Amino acid sequence: MQILSLKELKEHMELSEDESSFSEENSLPVLISDYVERLLNHEEIRRQFVPTKFENEDTLGFEDPQNEKNHSDLKRVIHRYENRVAIITSERCFSYCRHCFRRRLTGRNLEVISKKEIDEIAEYLKNHLEIKEALLTGGDLFTLSDERLEYLLGSFKNARKDIIFRLCTRALFTNPERFTDTLFKVLEKNSSGAPYYLMTQFNSAIEITEEAESILERFSSLRVPIMNQSVLLRDVNDSLEHQRELSEKLLRNRVKPYYLFQGDLVKGTRHLRVPLSRTLELEEEMRKNLSGLEMPEVMIDLPEGGGKLILSKCRFCKKEDGTWIFKSLDGRSIEYPEDL
């Protein structure tokens, strides 16, 4: 796999003034796989991976909007909810999405989880029987080598065969060649006990390429349930037509549209976020026009660690200045601006 850095991007592509004015200083680095590069002629792909100066100008968002640092019992374990944990397996991805909500970590130390850390987390899982699900995330889980992935899956399965492990990845689009016969053998070898769930992120139908469809078919043949989590992005997928096309293509590939996330209040992403009032309008349009199978839950992850909520079932109101007030899972009143 070949990748493009910011310097290579400027050498290989004709950039707009807004794109060429971007500076990597204090921002998410640029990394674009050759697989993504060949689709950058599509505006909805380009906006997700080619940075602009607007990232540098947005200084009002949060570094850690979900307050994950305060829920990290171990360095790589985020235990926000009683019955499930997120495990940061790597700070690496195959391409860096400009809307990344973990940009405080992604592309920074470029570390992958060590065997010592895996052993410590396996012991943590063994000692916390309330945990029923674990999200193997990052970065991207599949940036791990086959050898490290096998050690991780084997250790965690030996610790708790009853835990459902969610395999969280964007690599079916950003680097489909990663899914080799050897990788699938690793997954099959460590498939005893509770099932894996594959959690993909396709934000537009264009991303579900022939190569991605082939990988989805292989996971389905292994009886791995597949669910998609997408992010609502301005001028990428913020229309009924885009959402309908994505849902239809997902279902044809045996993938359930699971969540559609309102963009988090992350510093550097304001230009990609959809105003909440438009999100509410779009959700209503989708419920009128999509089937139950096609319809994802439209979600918001409140800042200050307020938790994930289904937008249509939230308790909230709007102030005269346009600020939305939500009631969080723990009973707090949390503000969410119409357009931060």
> Which pairs with CB-CB distance under 8 Å and at least 24 residues apart come from 6-12?
6/30, 6/51, 9/50, 12/37
Nearest to 73 by CA among 60, 65, 82, 64: 82
Q: Which CATH superfamily is domain 60-315 in?
A: Aldolase class I (3.20.20.70)
Measured distance CA(323)–CA(133) in Å, rounded: 34
Q: Where do the structural domains in the chain lie, given as residue ranges?
A: 1-59, 60-315
Q: How does pLDDT run along the chain (340 residues), one tens digit per residue?
A: 677 788 888 888 889 999 999 998 888 889 999 999 999 999 999 999 999 999 999 877 777 676 667 667 788 999 988 999 999 999 999 999 999 988 877 877 767 899 999 999 999 999 999 999 999 998 999 999 999 999 999 999 999 999 999 999 999 999 999 999 999 999 999 999 999 999 999 999 999 999 999 999 999 999 999 999 999 999 999 999 999 999 999 999 999 999 999 999 898 999 999 999 999 999 999 999 999 999 999 999 988 888 889 998 888 777 767 788 888 888 889 888 887 5
